[in-house]
């Protein structure tokens, strides 16, 4: 039997499939279902700064309702259902205590103080690692790309000093030079990198002439940008690499591993195919490894990365040259173009 064990951020995982942050793991029952389906680890749904701000505002409003009550009233204390992110932390703790696979907490903040405060709160719950979502829209045209990146670098340096558990950085693909930014984050102390985050984009209903929010799943093949940058990054940083976004089947997983990823995150495929797809994908990976004669994932991981290919320019502009010089062959290989 093939050995599917891998390591990510110092965590020993039974296979390379991690369930990314989503509602599927938001309950104990859901988390157990994912564990039984074969997931090696789960990322609990993200705690957002906006969520914290809203809950704090609601808490303040509820407390203000009781500011002028007198001694004759039945109770002086409001029936609060939450206090900041307390509910999130309690549910996360319950999930952690009821599964045997590693649980990774996810945090998505805007301000330094919130990153520091809630990263520590999440660590105190007892999770195995953290995932920090560095998603910041460049809406301030007076702030340079370097300034934005330096802010994130300082956050990583501070968290490295304050936390005892490993943490990874989940990046959007919109930084000016991803390779340089990852290198700097790596030196600052990040234990891993997830490439890339799936972002919600604005959408307008032209009939109502209003903005709408839709739950849009990724599409097969959306992982290709992450594949390129994992292939370019493998072997050049200390931190581990995770592929994400649009990974549906075993071939998608294998492509990521061959390019140099330690693990992958899967979400949309679980919604479309149910969590049972994890077992199917693992079976097909094992079957592929058996046919190829590989005994472990380490036997082939990263063999098609930029570092291992050396003189090749496949991760740069080789595809353009192929299409220009041999268009018939490219079209024949891709009949759906």
Asked whether residue 297 falls in the same domain as residue 331, the answer is: no
Q: Are residues 252 and 123 in the same domain?
A: yes
Q: Are residues 92 and 208 in the same domain?
A: yes
- 67 domain residue, yes or no: yes
Shared domain check, 280 and 145:
yes
18, part of any domain: yes
How many other CB atoms are found less than 10 A from the CB of residue 212? 9
Residue 84: pLDDT band with limits 50, 70, 90: low
Report yes or no on 195 lying in a domain: yes
Q: State the pLDDT at residue 85.
A: 80
| Residue 267: strand, helix, or coil | coil
Pair 118, 87 in one domain: yes
Same domain, 128 and 275: yes
Q: Where residue 320 falls among pLDDT bands split at 50, 70, 90?
A: low
Q: Are residues 319 and 278 in the same domain?
A: no
Structural domain including 221 reads: 6-303
Q: What is the pLDDT confidence band of residue 212, given thresholds at 50, 70 and 90?
A: confident
How many structural domains does the chain have?
A: 2
The tens digit of pLDDT for each residue in 134-191 reads 976 667 788 898 999 999 999 999 999 999 999 999 999 989 899 999 999 999 999 9
Q: What angle do CA 271, 241, 137 make, to 5 degrees?
A: 70
Q: Work out the average pLDDT over 304-314.
A: 83
Does one domain contain both 213 and 140? yes
Residue 167, classified by CB atoms within 10 Å of its CB into exposed (0-12), middle (13-18) or buried (19+), is buried
Is the domain of 35 the same as that of 53? yes
Pair 79, 105 in one domain: yes
Does residue 1 lie within any of the structural domains? no
Residue of 189, 143, 184, 23 whose CA lies nearest to 95: 23
pLDDT at 313: 74
Dist CA 305 CA 7 (whole Å): 18
Q: What is the CATH number of the domain that holds 22?
A: 3.20.20.70
**pLDDT higher for 245 or 73?**
245
Q: Looking at the structure, do residues 175 and 205 belong to the same domain, yes or no?
A: yes
Q: Is residue 12 included in any domain, yes or no?
A: yes
Query: Does position 326 have pLDDT exceeding 70, yes or no?
Result: no
Helix (H) or strand (E) holding 265: strand 263-266
Do 135 and 279 share a domain, yes or no?
Answer: yes
Contacts of residue 171, defined as CB under 8 A and 6 or more positions apart, other chains included, come to: 134, 178, 181, 182, 193, 194, 195, 196, 197
**pLDDT above 70: residue 201:** yes
State the average pLDDT for the chain: 86
End-to-end CA distance of the chain: 38
pLDDT at 335: 46
CA 39 to chain centre: 15
């Amino acid at each position: 039997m093939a050995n599917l064990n891998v390591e990510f951020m110092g965590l020993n995982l039974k296979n390379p499939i991690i369930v990314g942050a989503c509602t599927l793991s938001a309950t104990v029952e859901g988390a157990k279902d994912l564990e039984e389906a074969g997931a090696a680890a789960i990322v609990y749904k993200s705690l957002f700064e906006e969520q914290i701000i809203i809950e704090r505002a609601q808490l303040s409003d509820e407390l203000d309702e009781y500011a002028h009550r007198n001694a004759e009233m039945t109770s002086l204390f409001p029936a609060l259902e939450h206090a900041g992110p307390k509910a999130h932390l309690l549910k996360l703790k319950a999930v952690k205590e009821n599964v045997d696979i590693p649980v990774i907490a996810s945090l998505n903040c805007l301000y330094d103080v919130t990153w520091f405060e809630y990263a520590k709160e999440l660590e105190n719950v007892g999770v195995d690692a953290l995932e920090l979502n560095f998603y910041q829209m460049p809406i301030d045209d007076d702030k340079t790309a370097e300034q934005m990146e330096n802010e994130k670098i300082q956050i990583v340096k501070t968290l490295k000093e304050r936390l005892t558990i490993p943490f990874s950085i989940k990046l959007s693909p919109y930084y000016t030079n991803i390779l340089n930014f990852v290198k700097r984050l790596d030196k600052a102390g990040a234990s891993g990198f997830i490439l890339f985050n799936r972002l919600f984009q604005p959408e307008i209903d032209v009939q109502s002439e209003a903005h709408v929010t839709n739950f849009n799943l990724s599409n097969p093949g959306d992982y290709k940008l992450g594949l390129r940058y994992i292939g370019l990054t493998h072997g050049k940083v200390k931190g581990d690499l995770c592929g994400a976004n649009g990974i549906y089947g075993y071939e998608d997983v294998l492509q990521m591993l061959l390019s140099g990823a330690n693990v992958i995150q899967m979400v949309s495929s679980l919604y479309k195919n149910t969590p049972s797809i994890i077992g199917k994908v693992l079976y097909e990976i094992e079957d592929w490894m058996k046919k190829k004669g590989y005994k472990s994932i380490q036997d082939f991981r990263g063999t098609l990365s930029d570092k291992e290919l050396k003189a090749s320019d496949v991760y740069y502009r080789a595809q353009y040259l192929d299409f220009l010089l041999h268009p018939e062959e490219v079209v024949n290989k891709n009949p759906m173009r």
